[in-house]
Amino acid sequence: MTEKFDALSTAEEVLAGIDLHGKRAIVTGVSAGIGVETAHALAARGATVFGAARDLTKAEAAIARVQGDTKTNVTLVELDLASLASVRACADHLAAQGPFDLIVANAGLMGPPLGRTAEGFETQFGVNHLSHFVFVNRLAPHIRPGGRVVVLASSAHHIADVDLIDPNFEHTEYTPYLGYGRSKTANILFAVEFDRRHRARGIRATAVHPGGVETELGRYMDPATREAQRKAIGNTGNWNFVRKNAAQGASTSVWAGVYAPADAVGGHYCEDCHVAETLSGPAASLMGPGVAAYALDPTRAAALWQKSEELVKEAF
């Protein structure tokens, strides 16, 4: 890796000079924010991109705004992550369009009131983890050797480890950010175990934190909570928090998915276009750098995989 990228690098800067013609990618969550920028950056370098979104009209408008006069090859497909029936239908449709070189599991939601998916899963655990677990695994046989999977996580994984006994808050008191933290830890553990299972055939997986980007992800956050979070970020001591735009937020996804050597990022958690330090103790801040050791624990990752298969009633 001869180039040095950082928190302020954009996806287009990371991919500058890279020819992706002949490469095929899938990006979920392309109706707004980081997903749109990720899909556009890949397509602008020549990749054929399939962008998945629940609201195709909204996604089409978002892609058009980013593209401007430069039209790129982004094909939109319908995907509702709150329904495993939709997830399976979309994955089966895309499998027929394969093979693929990159899947970016970008879509998600943060901090909603307690809710349930169509199958009864707590919304954040169901949408952020279980649906991508099914989606990516159904497409895994159609990923070319040398391909990669990038799963968007968050520094919010420092809030909590996964709960394998009560993952859907059936007995535990629910708070929006406890649910979010659990789901983001699940994203990292999924990447760890997927990487272990597939690296022998040359397919690697990594989890990434896009950084502090204000997108529609935070639409459930009330103004008082948002202001409290901003004040907390401003009092993080010796860590200088960097607020990003969506193009900068997409940079680590394409860095890990295209630019960085596969062996450098496979099975790891990345932030600001580098592999994050594994922390032996608690994070200095919930929004601070580094990855909690429990989120990379291979035993925990294998246990979550088994629990996820039980919940979705499908083995991979």
Tell me, letter by letter, the H, E, C secondary structure of 73-90.
Answer: CEEEEECCCCCHHHHHHH
Q: Are strands 274-275 and 269-271 parallel, antiparallel or unpaired?
A: antiparallel
Q: How far apart are CA 227 and CA 182, in angstroms?
A: 23
Runs of H (alpha helix) within the chain: 11-15, 33-44, 56-67, 84-95, 123-124, 131-139, 176-198, 223-234, 246-249, 251-254, 262-265, 298-312
Per-residue tens of pLDDT for the chain, all 316 residues: 446 899 999 999 999 999 999 999 999 999 999 999 999 999 999 999 999 999 999 999 999 988 876 677 899 999 999 999 999 999 999 999 989 999 999 999 999 999 999 999 999 999 999 999 999 999 999 999 999 999 999 999 999 999 999 999 999 999 999 999 999 999 999 999 999 999 999 999 999 999 988 655 555 555 655 554 445 444 444 344 568 999 999 999 999 999 999 999 999 999 999 999 999 876 666 667 899 999 999 999 999 999 999 999 999 9
Residue tagged 């580094």 (tokens):
290
- Report domain extents, the chain: 11-308
Residue 143: beta bridge partners? 100
Tell me how far the alpha carbon of residue 220 is from its chain's centroid.
19
User: Model-level pTM?
Assistant: 0.92
In this prediction, residue 238 carries a pLDDT of 38
Taking CA atoms, 235 is separated from 13, 277, 288, in Å, by 31, 22, 11
In this prediction, residue 224 carries a pLDDT of 57
In this prediction, residue 225 carries a pLDDT of 53
In this prediction, residue 235 carries a pLDDT of 44
Angle at 156 between CA 154 and CA 157, to 5 degrees: 85
- Assigned fold of 11-308: Rossmann fold (3.40.50)
Q: How far apart are CA 118 and CA 84, in angstroms?
A: 8
In this prediction, residue 4 carries a pLDDT of 86
Q: How far apart are CA 196 and CA 204, in angstroms?
A: 8
Catalytic residue set: 180
Taking CA atoms, 54 is separated from 47, 87, 113, in Å, by 22, 10, 20
